[in-house]
Amino acid sequence: MWDWRFLGLLLASSLIDYAAGQLLLRSTNTNRRKLYLFASLFWNLSVLIAFKYFDFFVSGFHDLFSSEISTQYSIWSVIVPIGLSFYTFQTMSYTIDVYQRKVEPTKNLLDFLCFVSFFPQLVAGPIERAKFLLPQFQKNRKFNLQQSKEGLRQILWGLFKKVLVADKLGIAVTMAFENPDQYGSFTLAFAAALFSFQVYCDFSGYTDMAVGTAKLFGFKLHNNFNIPYLAKSITEFWQRWHITLTKWFTDYVYIPFLKQFNRITVRVRVLGLLLTMLLVGLWHGANWTFIVFGLFNGLLLAVERVPIFGRRKTLAKWLSKRPRMFSLIYFFTLTSISSVFFRAEDISQAWDILLRIFTFQDIGHISSLIGFQLLYLVFLILAEILTRTKAYPLETFENTWPRAARWIFYYVLIILIVRYAEPKEAFIYFQF
């Protein structure tokens, strides 16, 4: 509905990687197999570079080497197709796994097309592997009433997180980030913390809806989040946040990088972490803010995972044994700084906001823009903490609440969602 022409990219990526899988299956020649893998990776990475990074790098090159006198030039600039980063990574992982003989390539083209274009998780993940999702298209499925009810409850919870928490927090966050000169230290720090919750509720809310929708059709998807803001360190955070993306970069970038060295030293691990997180930042978009975001997190991971307290003990292990309040202060301070780069339009805006935060002078307040709606966030936090062993808070709702109370709760949530929905608020991760 947005622009049907971009479906050509989706179809081309699907056909090329399907063909690569078939060729890899039939070939036993090592050089030919490498050629087929290279062709697949070349296509997928070329599409990503052309649509996401070409304008960024050429503009940067021009700004760096052009004379002071402005020259007229034009660069091919297009809108990034929705879901591009997600489905290209999904098809690339298929070809790599087939090449490494970790998965058997499918001969059924329809099954493969469905695997790539499965609509619940197509535009914003989770990024599924062929070994997990593809077999689900290859077996018969029957309607399961209980699974469908669980799916509907998870969709409802995801809508609550997106509409009543993320979008309402977004109003205040936007006011602060677009007019930082009107606010002081505490207010901007508060806005940065609110954005951390906004992006979590926005993205994990989408994931809940994707997983819930898949359940309606008899499919299972991975949970992409595990209460990340209860992490005691940045290392633990990245094990709980956008889990499928972190696993993708670990398996296809970080580990292969380490394998290139005969001896894995501390320096090699640090370089691997910095490279991996740089690419994670770039994955989010062609902007210096995302590059700094990635390198900042890579540096934090390196500091936490380098042995400092004795021969084997690391800062991450030390933090895991500290009191929860101490670790949360440490973690939230760093993740709020990180979120400033993630949210800012450019480096100068991010730097301006951070400078104003550390002046420790406060003017203006944004709490009045949120008001009672902060109660939604408080309710969300309490619900997820109390049910942290569950996939989502409403998972065991049917077994713990009477039917009348359940349906009253459902309809109250539905009415609030319909009443307070912001029609122009898209999902943050749709841009990636």
What does the pLDDT look like over 322-343, one tens digit per residue? 888 888 889 888 998 999 999 9
Instruction: Name the residue with tokens 């009477």.
Output: 402
The pLDDT of residue 128: 94
The pLDDT of residue 364: 60
What pTM was computed for the model?
Answer: 0.89
* Cα–Cα distance for residue pair 160/286, rounded to 1 Å: 31
The pLDDT of residue 65: 60
Mean pLDDT lowest for which of 14-28, 164-178, 233-247, 366-380? 366-380
**What's the chain's length in residues?**
432
Please check the confidence at residue 377 and state whether its pLDDT lies above 60. yes
Rounded to an integer, what is the distance from CA 188 to the centroid of its chain? Answer: 24
Domain-wise residue ranges, the chain: 4-137, 146-431
* Cα–Cα distance for residue pair 322/328, rounded to 1 Å: 10
- Taking residue 353's Cβ as centre, other Cβ atoms within 10 Å add up to 24
Tokens of 90: 């999904």
At 69, give phi and psi (nearest 5°): -75, 125
* Cα–Cα distance for residue pair 237/320, rounded to 1 Å: 12
Please check the confidence at residue 7 and state whether its pLDDT lies above 90. no
Amino acid at the residue 328: L
The pLDDT of residue 369: 54
Is 284 among the catalytic positions? yes
* Cα–Cα distance for residue pair 323/340, rounded to 1 Å: 26
Contact 273, 302 (CB under 8 A): yes
Please check the confidence at residue 320 and state whether its pLDDT lies above 70. yes
* Cα–Cα distance for residue pair 427/352, rounded to 1 Å: 26
Q: 111 exposed, middle or buried (CB, 10 Å; 0-12, 13-18, 19+)? A: middle
The H-or-E segment that residue 402 falls in is none
Of the candidates 62, 222, 242, 284, the residue annotated as catalytic is 284
User: Residue 134 — pLDDT band, cuts 50, 70, 90?
Assistant: very high
Contact 97, 133 (CB under 8 A): no
Please check the confidence at residue 55 and state whether its pLDDT lies above 80. no
* Cα–Cα distance for residue pair 113/81, rounded to 1 Å: 18
* Cα–Cα distance for residue pair 370/136, rounded to 1 Å: 43
* Cα–Cα distance for residue pair 300/336, rounded to 1 Å: 13
User: Which value, to the nearest 10 degrees, does the dihedral of the CA atoms of residues 288, 290, 293, 298 take?
Assistant: -100
The H-or-E segment that residue 307 falls in is strand 307-309
Tokens of 207: 């994931």
Tokens of 230: 């209860």
Please check the confidence at residue 254 and state whether its pLDDT lies above 90. yes
Please check the confidence at residue 300 and state whether its pLDDT lies above 90. yes
